[in-house]
A = this chain, B = another copy of it.
Amino acid sequence: MINMINNNENKGKKLQVILASASPRRKELLMQIGIDYRAVPGTAEEYTTKTEPAEVVQELSYRKAEEVLAGLVRQGEEDCLVIGADTVVSHRGRVMGKPGSEEAACQMLSCLQGSIHQVYTGVTLLVREKGQQSVCHTFYEKTDVSMYPMTEEEIRAYAATGESMDKAGAYAIQGRCAVYIRGICGDYNNVVGLPVGRLYQELKSLGVLECI
């Protein structure tokens, strides 16, 4: 189990980990690495002032974390670490979010098949200790993903599984789409939705990890 602790005045006091996301993949990843958390998804509509994928995901991860922290503080909940994250796919300069329909999913997959694209996940960590200013730390990870060519029939059959619908770029690397992935360069979990390797290293640098 990985615990988070205060490192300021109330040194040693446990920090509650709040995942500002409803994504089942992000929840599974935190469980996989042994972080005990509570999921508190935000409700605000996502909007971004940026165009570069690395900036888009960092801004959106910050907005998600900030909205959720503000809600907690209003309810008097402090001594917490809020994790916000956002993932997009970028292909030849075009940023792809989640497809709005099965048809849109097929179009995205037609672009991605047989080539290399980038997956960006931005993460914001907001550490709030009682009576202190929040500490904010934002970063992103980029992973290159190379896909095998897919026939039209394969694209339609994959989109029909329904796996595409809530995923940036219309595919789940951890699902059926695994058969169309030639390889990646970077963190696999970044493609799933949360770069847990980098996350752990950043938590270590922030000095909030109690033990592994």
Residues of A within 8 A of B (CB): 2, 29, 32-34, 143, 148, 153-154, 157-158, 173-176, 178-189, 196-201, 211-212
The 3 closest A-B pairs by CB, nearest first: A179-B200, A188-B188, A183-B186
B182 touching A197, Cβ below 8 Å: yes
B157 touching A179, Cβ below 8 Å: no
B176 touching A34, Cβ below 8 Å: yes
> Which residue in B143, B158, B186, B197 is a CB contact (below 8 Å) of A180?
B197
**What would be 20 A-B contacts, judged by CB atoms less than 8 Å apart?**
A2-B179, A33-B178, A33-B179, A34-B176, A148-B197, A148-B201, A154-B212, A157-B211, A157-B212, A178-B189, A178-B197, A179-B197, A179-B200, A180-B197, A181-B187, A181-B197, A182-B187, A183-B186, A184-B185, A184-B188
Shortest C-beta distance, A126 to chain B (Å), equals 20
Shortest C-beta distance, A109 to chain B (Å), equals 13
Known: A184-B184, A211-B157. A32 touches B201 (CB 8 A): no
Shortest C-beta distance, A175 to chain B (Å), equals 7
Question: Contacts of A143 on B, CB cut-off 8 Å?
Answer: 183
Shortest C-beta distance, A85 to chain B (Å), equals 15
> Which residue in B29, B148, B175 is a CB contact (below 8 Å) of A32?
B175
Question: Contacts of A196 on B, CB cut-off 8 Å?
Answer: 178-179
Question: Contacts of A178 on B, CB cut-off 8 Å?
Answer: 29, 32-33, 189, 196-197
Shortest C-beta distance, A178 to chain B (Å), equals 5
Question: Contacts of A148 on B, CB cut-off 8 Å?
Answer: 197, 201
B188 touching A158, Cβ below 8 Å: no
Give 18 A-B pairs besides A143-B183, A148-B197, A183-B186 with Cβ atoms closer than 8 angstroms.
A2-B179, A29-B178, A32-B174, A33-B178, A33-B179, A148-B201, A154-B212, A157-B211, A158-B212, A173-B188, A178-B196, A179-B197, A179-B200, A180-B197, A180-B200, A181-B188, A183-B185, A184-B187
